[in-house]
Amino acid sequence: MNTKEALSIRLNHVILINGFQKLSMSKLAQAINVSRATLYIYFKNKDEIVGAVVERQLNFIQKNPVPDHFAAGDFPNTLLNSLLLFGATTVTFTNELKAYYPERYAKFVNAHDQYFADLENYYRLAQDHDFIDPSFQPDFLLFQNRTGVQAILTAVQTKEIEIGRAEIYLKDLFILQLIGFLTADAKKVVDTTTVQPFIDKILIEFRATYSQIG
């Protein structure tokens, strides 16, 4: 079914990989397999499409804030939300957003920066609760979250690895991130099987986006 939300999701996948500057409304419609007339029902122009892509990420951040207190039961979903967000943009998209929509770019970047500042503080709280090993610096944990995800996605974009192999790597990375930096006691209470549906959802989003690579 074609709804504005459904089309926004599909357009998001196309624009993250291909950018938007060189894509006309006709090409965008073709990329998501709808008619140009259908696309114009929901979006008056490309500006509205770019706005919808930006709002999709801002809405995700708003609906999934980093908790301001620590509870062990919140940790898996909080971490997976952050890994999803790390992989939810590309250099292609952000560079074009900065060049053509600087105000939207500033809002986009500020929201992400605040989210990850909150996540770094969340890691500190987890260490205070003897959940994350205190020998790791919180900013390092944030760094390896980002670089781990982005290294895999970059390898797909440069065709160093194919999508199926990348999915395997991402699954392994998610499990490593979930338990690799926890204290021995914390590892006993984290059940990675409970978050498998969430991991599957992330991988569906990944495939829908990176299958756009020619």
Question: Looking at the predicted structure, is the pLDDT value of residue 162 above 90?
Answer: yes
Please report, for the domain that includes residue 90, its CATH number: 1.10.357.10
Per-residue pLDDT tens for 42-78?
999 999 999 999 999 999 999 999 999 999 999 999 9
Structural domains in the chain (count): 1
Query: Whole-model pTM?
Result: 0.91
Per-residue pLDDT tens for 11-22?
999 999 999 999
Question: What is the residue range of 39's domain?
Answer: 4-210
Per-position DSSP letters for the chain, written without gaps between them? ---HHHHHHHHHHHHHHH-STT--HHHHHHHTT--HHHHHHH-SSHHHHHHHHHHHHHHHHHHSPPPSS--GGGHHHHHHHHHHHHTS--HHHHHHHHHH-HHHHHHHHHHHHHHHHHHHHHHHHHHHTT-B-TTS-HHHHHHHHHHHHHHHHHHHHTTSS-HHHHHHHHHHHHHHHHHTTB-HHHHTT--GGGGHHHHHHHHHHHHHHHTT--
